[in-house]
Structures are given as structure tokens and as C-alpha cells.
Amino acid sequence: MLLCAKTNAGRFAYDMVKCVTCPVFVTTPEFLPQHRRQLEQTQTLIAQADRTGHQRLAEMNRTVEKNLLAIIDGLATPRC
């Protein structure tokens, strides 16, 4: 479970695709394994979509990939 800053509803079931594209997504380093796993799955989807000519699906997942890379980088980079 994570905290949703958008709804102020407290804890919720994590929906990776919806959450990582949300501008108020909040996460912590404890979720790095889940983010990395989702990145691998997203990159697999992109490759499959590219191979089968589904450009829109690939494009949508590239947005998720970009957000996941930024999240992972931000969580993995030590802060002063």
C-alpha cells in the first residue's frame, strides 16, 4: 500500500500505470523493487508493441517508462 496525495483518501491499492503518470504521485525507496519490476514489464510491452506495429500502445507505455525512470533515479540517488 502507498499513500495517495491526490485524493487524501489515505492508503489505497497500488495501480502502477495510473499512479506513475499522476502528477502528485508520492513514493519512497522501499518501493524501488516494485518500480524496477514494473519498468522491466513496461519495456517488454514496448518491445512487443513495436514488433507488432502497435505504435499507440508503444507510445503510451513510453510515457510510463519515462516516469518510472525518473522515479527510480530520484529514489536511488542519495540526497544530501
How many angstroms separate the CA atoms of 31 and 27, rounded? Answer: 7
pLDDT of residue 62: 96
Q: What is the pLDDT of residues 28-73, one digit of tens each?
A: 898 899 899 999 999 999 999 999 999 999 999 999 999 999 999 9
Indicate the domain borders of the chain: 2-76
pTM: 0.79
Cα within 13 Å of Cα(65), Cβ side: 14
The rounded distance, in Å, linking the Cα atoms of 24 and 34 is 18
Grid coordinates given for 8:
487524501
